[in-house]
Amino acid sequence: MSPIDMLVNSTIRPDVRAVASYHVADASGFIKLDAMENPYHLPHHLRQVLAQRLADVALNRYPVASYASIKQRINDKLGVPAGYDVILGNGSDELISILCMACAMQDRRAVVVAPTPSFVMYQRSAQFAGMDYVGVPLKADMTLDLPAMLVAIAEHKPALVFLSYPNNPTGNLFAEADIVAIIKALDGFGLAIVDEAYEPFAQQTFMQRLPEFHNLVVMRTVSKLGLAGIRLGYMSAAPQLLAELDKVRPPYNINVLTQVAAEFALDHVEVLNQQAAALRAARADLTAALARMPGVEVFPSAANFILIRVPNSDDVHAKLLSHKVLIKNVSKMHSVLANCLRITVSTPEENSAFLDAFAASLAA
């Protein structure tokens, strides 16, 4: 064993050494439909104004630690209830990590519960924080198995339950009554985290229900709204709870360029909302086109992506790559996703190019 191998083995946790790195595919030269991004830019005239705003940023200074101006815009523009505030994160990934770090116990193994398959960072963040993770499989039709969730909650008394609303990678909205039942089942010992990353496309939210449930946390990101590149997430909860979670947040975790870009975009949020409306309409068109293709099963989606099942997902995925179209092959994530592919909804031109390549891949 080499000296560096000995060093790694003696200093890095075995479970970290055993896990694979989070892989992001190289999309250079591809029609990129694998990451649920908004394909639209800001209008040219707004980009010119934003460029000047960014040029004027004092890069030699730390951000204002309170982030008061950007938080006020989020509160005003994105539906945070009166009397509630938000914590900001470097994307929703950091918020998930903050929640796990705050709730991991030193004297015992705290537990995270989530439906599975769902967003992979719930499990990874739980592991890295030293928590146990319990995944509760979805039903074969991708819906939430509420009785199984309630059994897991009663057995494990989890500190955190993550509920992606709508769920990634399946795209469906879990029943509102089921989520309420889970929130109530956790009362007294656990937090229910409703992750609304795709809220602009679902147009359903638990944000206004925060005052009803003191153990509810609503988490969102501006990534899917059209600002994936600036990496900004936010979450809200009861003020006393939020104050405790904020102690774990690193100081200056949102850089000044992200802050200025987000403030500018939220001052023009109607542009982003129009783009989201266009993508919702395109989702309906793309869903209908896919449903007409023989051998393709299309699952309902309230997000900006569509999950489908085909006879041989690996072959179809490889053929799409040969056509320079990149989608996500999720068939190995979980048995319920066998032969499933996930397609980001994009512009009419990119959707059309995908459909042509997809039809050719099915026929080949």
Give the whole-angstrom CA distance, residue 162 versus residue 268: 31
3-state secondary structure 244-260: HHHCCCCCCCCCHHHHH
What percentage of the chain has pLDDT greater than the value 70?
100
Average pLDDT of the chain is 96
Structure confidence at residue 21 (pLDDT): 86
Per-residue confidence at 90, pLDDT binned at 50, 70, 90? very high
In eight-state DSSP terms, residue 341 is E
Structure confidence at residue 65 (pLDDT): 85
User: Is the per-residue pLDDT at 117 higher than 80?
Assistant: yes
Q: Residue ranges per domain, the chain?
A: 3-43+270-363, 61-267
User: Is the per-residue pLDDT at 168 higher than 90?
Assistant: yes
Residue 81, classed as helix, strand or coil, is coil
Residue 354, classed as helix, strand or coil, is helix
Give the whole-angstrom CA distance, residue 50 versus residue 3: 50
| Helix (H), strand (E) at residue 350 | helix 348-363
Asked if residues 220 and 235 have their Cβ atoms less than 8 Å apart, the reply is: yes
User: Is the per-residue pLDDT at 363 higher than 90?
Assistant: no
Q: Which tens digits make up the pLDDT trace of 261-279?
A: 999 999 999 999 999 999 9
Q: What is the DSSP code string of 254-306?
A: S-HHHHHHHHHHHHTHHHHHHHHHHHHHHHHHHHHHHHTSTT-EE---SSSEE
Strand partners of residue 216: 192
Q: What is the CATH number of domain 61-267?
A: 3.40.640.10
> Which fold would CATH assign to domain 3-43+270-363?
Aspartate Aminotransferase, domain 1 (3.90.1150)
User: Is the per-residue pLDDT at 30 higher than 90?
Assistant: yes
Q: Which tens digits make up the pLDDT trace of 326-359?
A: 999 999 999 999 999 999 999 999 999 999 999 9
Give the whole-angstrom CA distance, residue 209 versus residue 175: 15
